[in-house]
Amino acid sequence: MSGEFDFYTVIPAQAPDEAAEIRQFLAACHLEMDGNIDVFVVARAGRRLIACAGLSTNIIKCVAICEDFRGESLSLQLVSEIVQQAAERDHFHLFLYAKPCNVPFFRGCGFYPLVEVPDYIVLMENSPVAIDRYCDRLRMRREPSDKTGCIVINANPFTLGHRYLAQQAAAACDWLHVFVVSEDASFFPYSDRFKLVSQGLAGIANLTVHHGSEYMISRATFPGYFLKEKGIIDSCHTAIDLLLFREYLAPALGITHRFVGTEPFCPVTKKYNEDMKHWLQRAPSPAPAITVVEVQRTAQDGTPISASEVRRLLASGNFDAIKPLVPATTLQLLISDYAPDTTRRPGIYG
């Protein structure tokens, strides 16, 4: 018990009936239930559900309080309880999604706004300096350049398509910055993806490969990207991710252009590329506009090269079909570490 309210946790996967009740409660508060919540903190007055807050790794979302119980006491207790749950899971750098009207309250709870999609959503974090420190580290890797490009890739795995995009971008710029998405939510772990990108881009002189961060295509900024097999596209999250890039990351490195490959397969990435042109080029912002350059994806035998096709071929161990799609360094890793047992044998392809 905490005063007149009873606080406790609900793990949605283990309590479907209570999860359904939370979903209905959120709908009554004009919110949708996120399907990726690890744990909810709920509050009841007697048997009545009056408040909830969800935690997805280090992201607080789905925060709602019944209208006739909205007051500083319950609100502070709810935020305190969910922050405690995060700490018990060793998450101390926290992000929080809030409606713009609730920003003043969450400021009082130690959260600071990063970017806002006007009238819809604000991304906040529990540090006044974390993103500035990250941008300071980026500035240390800034290169003198009048035209500075950027590519952000997941590389799951790195293909000749990725290398072609980087070659085209580097040829069009004085300097190119390549970020590798660091969220470990892909088939290939981040350590392997970063290594393959670094190896695959060797020899391009005017290029820097960067580790990704939580401020770029992560579960905090763009969760829909990692749910794309389910066809989930969230325009607000896309906007949050792109505004963070435009207002913080790009100015730190002097980025003037962002390069993307055409996307004939994945609807989430295709929508992301379309939204990029709005939020980076046309949307009002205190930060300079960034030119989006779409590069026609390179093809093999008339079919655009894609990492998803490489993964499909890998599942059956079809290395003959994979070989023309990836650099030698990627092929070597796939054979040595990822080949199905039926195809793994020493000496294959040298």
Average pLDDT over residues 159-187: 95
pLDDT score of 223: 54
Of residues 348 and 148, more confidence is placed in 148
Cis peptide before 223 (omega within 30 of 0): no
Average pLDDT over residues 202-222: 86
In degrees and rounded to multiples of 5, residue 144 shows phi and psi of -60, 125
Residue 293 has pLDDT above 60, yes or no: yes
The mean predicted confidence, pLDDT, of the chain is: 89
pLDDT score of 350: 32
pLDDT score of 258: 98
pLDDT score of 345: 42
pLDDT band at 234 (very low <50, low <70, confident <90, very high): low
Q: Which domains does the chain have, with CATH numbers?
A: 6-127 (3.40.630.30), 132-298 (3.40.50.620)
Instruction: List the structure tokens of 317.
Output: 């161990």
Cβ within 8 Å of residue 151, ≥6 positions away: 165, 166, 169, 176, 177, 178, 179, 258, 259, 260
Residue 1 has pLDDT above 70, yes or no: no
CA distance 91 to 94: 7
